[in-house]
Amino acid sequence: MKSMFVSLEGEQGLHQNDTTGPVPVDGWDFYIQSHKGFNYYLIDLNTVKWSSLGNIIRGCEAVENDCWKAQEEFSTYLRKCDVLSYAEKDGRIVAFDAVTILNSGPYCVYNNEETMVLKAFRGRDLAQRLVIMTVEWHLTKIASMKKKKYFIFTSISANPAVVNRYFNKSWLRRLFDSSFAPSPQLIALKEEYCRKYAIEVVDKRYPFCLKNMFPGSNSFDPNDPKYQFSPHVRASMPTDFEHMVRGDAFAFMLMIPMKIVRWVTFILMIKCFGTEYFSNRGVGLFSRRRPLIPSTLEGRIPDLSGKTFSVKTVDQG
């Protein structure tokens, strides 16, 4: 996301003193697990020596360029993220998942920034496996997660097909707090997110419609029936929402109690990786346990408790 920039003093010092050479994309340093001929890796971008990532950055950049018109150089974009996971086959990166984490008291806003797969490797559930594996890593390896009560999965997209899929998960909308019927707390978290990263909304009455997020990035035919916002989704957007040229995007947020997230992630890990999940090196249930990683993100968003927000929402009448 082009407008995000977070840099801690400790991170700056670490990056300036990098002398480590680049590691191969199929190296052991960041390896998590293997499944059906693909190897999966994960990097904590807040602690890694950036000089070691040259090959990995170039590999992920090739995937991104195969998927859409990027807003900026991948290395610049990646500096704004907290975690990168990727899938590799035969020494080539074929998919990646980039994530940012925003903490606010008992809430963890988990922004799935980008999940991209080379066109030649689509249809193999690589994106789903990367997303679930990365969530599992956060739940089991980041110390601050133990204190969180709510997990807010976030995905910001200018692609109508993606936003329609989120809406069509009707059971999620009915069970949990989401962008399509948000609580005041969810709107407050979104507003804090926008203030933190200087993001504008298209219309204040529609708080989840974000302005000028991905200008010119969509390359699909806007007249293709597959890429039309459904009438139900359009009802949550202002009339001047423009996703093709200006690059307006919809922020889908889903707030789920952390206990439920842990159980759902456990089940999906078994579904995605089978019995290999129980013994994999990085996040397996019976794998060699590593110490929990202290969070470097806890102070990035102040606690929202006690603050008053005045946010206009769509008139339901």
pLDDT score recorded for residue 284: 64
Helices (H), 177-309: 184-196, 231-234, 258-273
Given a cut of 70, the residues of the chain with pLDDT beneath it are 1-20, 280-282, 284-317
pLDDT per residue over 174-201, tens digit each? 899 999 999 999 999 999 889 887 899 9
pLDDT score recorded for residue 310: 28
Compute the distance between CA of residue 53 and CA of residue 183 in angstroms, rounded to an integer.
40
Do 234 and 160 form a contact (C-beta atoms < 8 A)? no
Question: Does residue 157 lie within any of the structural domains?
Answer: yes
Question: Does residue 68 lie within any of the structural domains?
Answer: yes
pLDDT score recorded for residue 141: 87
Asked whether the whole model's pTM tops 0.85, one would answer: no
Question: Does residue 296 lie within any of the structural domains?
Answer: no
Question: Does residue 284 lie within any of the structural domains?
Answer: no
Axis-axis angle for helices 126-141, 258-273 (nearest 10) = 130
Give the total number of structural domains in the chain.
1
Nearest to 39 by CA among 61, 24, 20: 24
Question: Does residue 59 lie within any of the structural domains?
Answer: yes
pLDDT per residue over 109-126, tens digit each? 999 999 999 999 999 999
pLDDT score recorded for residue 280: 67
pLDDT score recorded for residue 21: 82
Question: Does residue 316 lie within any of the structural domains?
Answer: no
Q: Strand 83-89 and strand 92-104: pairing? A: antiparallel
Question: Does residue 238 lie within any of the structural domains?
Answer: no
Compute the distance between CA of residue 197 and CA of residue 262 in angstroms, rounded to an integer.
29
Which residue type does 265 have? Answer: T
CATH code for the domain in which residue 98 is found: 3.40.630.30
Q: What are the structure tokens assigned to 265, written together?
A: 């992630």
Residues 6+ apart with CB under 8 A from 174: none
Compute the distance between CA of residue 19 and CA of residue 50 in angstroms, rounded to an integer.
9
Q: What are the structure tokens assigned to 175, written together?
A: 């069970």
Do 92 and 291 form a contact (C-beta atoms < 8 A)? no
Question: Does residue 301 lie within any of the structural domains?
Answer: no
Q: What are the structure tokens assigned to 104, written together?
A: 């606010």
Do 224 and 153 form a contact (C-beta atoms < 8 A)? no
Q: Could you list the residue range(s) of the whole structural domain that residue 49 is in?
A: 24-181+254-279
Looking at residue 201, the DSSP 8-state letter turns out to be B
Looking at residue 276, the DSSP 8-state letter turns out to be G
Cross-strand pairs, 108: 103, 151
